[in-house]
Amino acid sequence: MKITDVKTFVVKNPPPHFGGPYFIFIKLVTNNGIEGIGETYAMPFSPHLVARMLEDVAGRFAIGADPFNIEHLWRTVYSAGYLQHPDLSLLGLLSAVEMACWDIAGKALNKPVYQLLGGQVHPRLRTYTYIYPKESDKTDVYRDPELAAERAAEYVKQGFTAVKFDPVGPYTAFDPRQLSLEALERAETFCRKIREAVGSRADLLFGTHGQMTTSSAIRLARRLEKYDPLWFEEPVPPENVAEMARVARATTIPIATGERLTTKYEFARLLGKQAASILQMNLGRVGGILEAKKIAGMAEAHYAQIAPHLYCGPVVGAANIHLSACSPNFLILEGIQTWGGFHAEILKTPIQWEDGYVIPPTGPGLGVELDESVAQAHPYTGKNLHLNVLNRPL
């Protein structure tokens, strides 16, 4: 069996755009007609340029290759152009191609991908969601702690046992920064109000996006400890593992991080410095499914857990599900609310979510099929990046 064709899709994610303004998918086709789907996450280039980059990488390395030879493909792409370094952009492309190869392999063997990675450990997967705004909101749920607490209680009634929120404020190109007293107070108020609203029915996942200096993160963590969050996410930028380790040593709140990291090499440094105990790899960036499984294995040896990150489309979500289902040290899975809306519409069969849990699919491969008619009906024609930061300091 050989890969013979590649096609890409840049799909507009309609309002409210949860998961980003667009999704970028790749489809690989073999000479015996098996199709595999993959997705890349948050590249720092125009999405249509990313699609061309995907086609270049797939055309150069995947066309003519056996989709089962994933390790060989991975090393070849990783070393392309004498790079051999955890580069965010190349690894995002490789992740999508690798994911599609696993989808093909599972379909060829008529097995779910998790059955090819050691077998199923978890029959259902605990999930969480960010606290998202509604069109009817009179205030900003990201700035109004009372509204955020109300929304958190609504999610708990739906079945969620954890909610995430980031009240620290915008992230900028000039972070990390020292938070003002006002910002510290607002963040603590969010945590207090949400804890009062959900009680012990749900964990609080305190998300940040690397906005703080080490000292500022420690100051905030000490304010938050009394509310017992399950984690303090990316308290400082991911570029300096030693400083994240300083935060970890200074607080009783577990540190979670990983959405901006790639490969086993970066996660090995994280674990070696004891900088985090919850790893949030994004499978559309980290290097794909097998690379994430290797990272999960390293984490297991350090008594660390995995909580795969998702802020993109449902194909990365499906890959996260397979990794989680076969990993003993799985903790919790990020979703976009209940996996409905456009995340369901773009798939022929939506991901199954029940009372706060995802039920892993039993179909072959990733267990999801892209509805190409929907993808083609929602082309993205803009040039914006998936995520943007403020271009001025706060």
In a domain, 52, yes or no: yes
Of the three residues 61, 94, 111, the one that is the final residue of a domain is 111
106 and 121 housed in the same domain: no
pLDDT for residue 366 = 98
Catalytic status, residue 209: yes
Set 309, 322, 343, 378: catalytic member = 309
Q: How far is 120 from 42, CA to CA, in rounded Å?
A: 29
Domain boundary among 80, 111, 142: 111
What is the pLDDT tens value at each position of the chain, 394 positions in all?
999 999 999 999 999 999 999 999 999 999 999 999 999 999 999 999 999 999 999 999 999 999 999 999 999 999 999 999 999 999 999 999 999 999 999 999 999 999 999 999 999 999 999 999 999 999 999 999 999 999 999 999 999 999 999 999 999 999 999 999 999 999 999 999 999 999 999 999 999 999 999 999 999 999 999 999 999 999 999 999 999 999 999 999 999 999 999 999 999 999 999 999 999 999 999 999 999 999 999 999 999 999 999 999 999 999 999 999 999 999 999 999 999 999 999 999 999 999 999 999 999 999 999 999 999 999 999 999 999 999 999 9
pLDDT tens digits along 36-59: 999 999 999 999 999 999 999 999
How far apart, in whole angstroms, are the C-alpha atoms of residue 38 and residue 349? 16
Do residues 144 and 59 share a domain?
no
Q: Report yes or no on 263 lying in a domain.
A: yes
User: Is the same domain home to 183 and 297?
Assistant: yes
Residue 375 belongs to some domain of the structure? no
Q: Is 323 exposed, middle or buried (0-12, 13-18, 19+ CB in 10 A)?
A: buried
Instruction: Give the residue numbers spanning the domain of 176.
Output: 115-365
**Looking at the structure, do residues 183 and 105 belong to the same domain, yes or no?**
no
Q: Mark whether 277 and 166 lie in a shared domain.
A: yes
Residue 386 within any structural domain of the chain: no
Same domain as 228, residue 194:
yes
Number of structural domains in the chain: 2
- Same domain for 265 and 140: yes
Give CA angle at 273 (305, 245), nearest 5°.
Answer: 85
| Identified catalytic residue from 209, 322, 378, 386 | 209
Residues 211 and 342 in one domain: yes
- Note whether 81 and 124 are same-domain residues: no
**For this structure, is 309 an active site residue?**
yes
Q: In the listed set 111, 146, 180, which residue is the last one of a domain according to the structure?
A: 111
The whole model's pTM is what? 0.98
Domain identity same for 351 and 204: yes
Q: In CATH, what number is assigned to the domain containing residue 53?
A: 3.30.390.10
Q: What is the dihedral of CA 86, 92, 96, 101, to 10 degrees?
A: -10
Instruction: Kindly state whether residue 391 falls inside one of the protein's structural domains.
Output: no
